[in-house]
Structure 1
Amino acid sequence: MGEQMRRQRAGVRHRPVPAAALLAASLLLAAGPSLAGCTATGTPQPSIAAGSTAGPSGGATQASAPLETSQTSAKAPVYWLGKSRDGVYLYREFRDADGKDNPIATALRIMMSQKPLDPSYFTPWQPPKKLAASVSGRNYITVDVSADAFNTGVDEPTAQLAVQQLVYTATAAAASSGLVDAGQPISVMLLVDGRTSQLAFDRVQLGQLMQRDPSMVAPAWIIDPQEGAQVTGALKVFGRATSPDKAFAWQILHRDAQGAKSSYVSGTVTSGNQPGHVGEFTFSVNLPAGDYEIRILPSDDASPAASATTSAWDSKGFTVTG
Structure 2
Amino acid sequence: MSALSPAPPGRRSVPADASRRQRRTSDRLRVLDRCAILGLAVSLALGGCTNNDSAEQDATMPASTTSSSSALVTAAPLETATSSQTLPVYWLGRSNDDVFLYREFFPAKSTDDPMVAALRTMMSTKPRDPDYFSLWNTPSRLGASISAKNVITVDVSADAFAQKVDAGIAQRSVAQLVYTATAAAAMAGLVDPSSSIQVSVLVDGHTGYDAFGHVPLDKPMTRDASLVAPVWIISPSQGARYKTLPLKVEGQGISPTGTLAWELAKSSNGKADEPYLNGTVAIPEGANELGTFSFSLIPPPGSYELSVFIDDPASPGTRIGVDTKLVQVAEQNIE
Same fold, TM-score > 0.5, yes or no: yes
Separation in structure 2 between the aligned mates of residue 258 and residue 3 of structure 1, nearest angstrom? 27
Separation in structure 2 between the aligned mates of residue 257 and residue 95 of structure 1, nearest angstrom? 26
Secondary structure of the residue aligned to 2:173 is: helix
Query: How far apart are residue 313 of structure 1 and its match?
Result: 1.8
| TM-score, normalisation: structure 2 | 0.72
Q: Deviation per CA, 1:44-101, whole angstroms, max 9, x where unpaired? A: xxxxxxxxxxxxxxxx86xx30210112452100000001123110000011121320
Q: Which amino acid aligns with 2:63?
A: G
Alpha-carbon contact 1:109-1:127 (below 8 Å) kept: yes
Separation in structure 2 between the aligned mates of residue 65 and residue 200 of structure 1, nearest angstrom? 23
User: Could you tell me which residue of structure 2 aligns to residue 321 of structure 1?
Assistant: 330
Q: Deviation per CA, 1:130-150, whole angstroms, max 9, x where unpaired? A: 000111111110000000001
Alignment of 1:261-300 (within 5 A): 261-273=273-285, 279-300=291-312
Alpha-carbon contact 2:239-2:326 (below 8 Å) kept: yes
Alpha-carbon contact 1:295-1:312 (below 8 Å) kept: no
Alignment of 1:34-183 (within 5 A): 64-183=75-194
Separation in structure 1 between the aligned mates of residue 140 and residue 204 of structure 2, nearest angstrom? 10
Separation in structure 2 between the aligned mates of residue 258 and residue 188 of structure 1, nearest angstrom? 38
- The structure-2 alpha-carbon separation of the partners of 1:243 and 1:68, relative to structure 1 and needing over 3 Å to count, comes to farther
Q: Which amino acid aligns with 1:252?
A: L
Separation in structure 1 between the aligned mates of residue 174 and residue 117 of structure 2, nearest angstrom? 17
Q: Which has the higher contact order (CA 8 A, sep 6+)?
A: 1
Separation in structure 1 between the aligned mates of residue 194 and residue 235 of structure 2, nearest angstrom? 26
Q: Which amino acid aligns with 1:121?
A: Y
How many residue pairs are counted as aligned between the two chains? Answer: 262
User: Would you say 1:190 and 2:201 are equivalent positions?
Assistant: yes
Between structures 1 and 2, the one with greater helix share: 2
Secondary structure of the residue aligned to 1:239 is: strand
Separation in structure 2 between the aligned mates of residue 149 and residue 189 of structure 1, nearest angstrom? 16
Q: Which amino acid aligns with 1:145?
A: V
- The structure-2 alpha-carbon separation of the partners of 1:147 and 1:184, relative to structure 1 and needing over 3 Å to count, comes to same
- The structure-2 alpha-carbon separation of the partners of 1:157 and 1:256, relative to structure 1 and needing over 3 Å to count, comes to closer
User: Would you say 1:223 and 2:234 are equivalent positions?
Assistant: yes
Secondary structure of the residue aligned to 2:327 is: strand
- The structure-2 alpha-carbon separation of the partners of 1:9 and 1:2, relative to structure 1 and needing over 3 Å to count, comes to farther
Separation in structure 2 between the aligned mates of residue 150 and residue 280 of structure 1, nearest angstrom? 34
Separation in structure 2 between the aligned mates of residue 100 and residue 133 of structure 1, nearest angstrom? 14
Higher mean alpha-carbon deviation, 117-126 vs 265-274, is at 265-274
Aligned residue among 199, 211, 224 for 1:200: 211
Query: How far apart are residue 221 of structure 1 and its match?
Result: 0.6
Q: Which amino acid aligns with 1:319?
A: Q
Percent identity reads: 47
Provide the alpha-carbon RMSD of the alignment: 2.7
Alpha-carbon contact 2:311-2:320 (below 8 Å) kept: no
Gaps of 5+ in 2: 1-61
Alpha-carbon contact 2:89-2:106 (below 8 Å) kept: yes
Q: Deviation per CA, 1:11-55, whole angstroms, max 9, x where unpaired? A: xxxxxxxxxxxxxxxxxxxxxxxxxxxxxxxxxxxxxxxxxxxxx
Separation in structure 1 between the aligned mates of residue 70 and residue 154 of structure 2, nearest angstrom? 23
Alpha-carbon contact 1:9-1:157 (below 8 Å) kept: no
Separation in structure 2 between the aligned mates of residue 101 and residue 318 of structure 1, nearest angstrom? 32
Secondary structure of the residue aligned to 2:238 is: coil
Aligned residue among 240, 261, 264 for 1:252: 264
Secondary structure of the residue aligned to 1:321 is: strand
Q: Which amino acid aligns with 1:2?
A: A
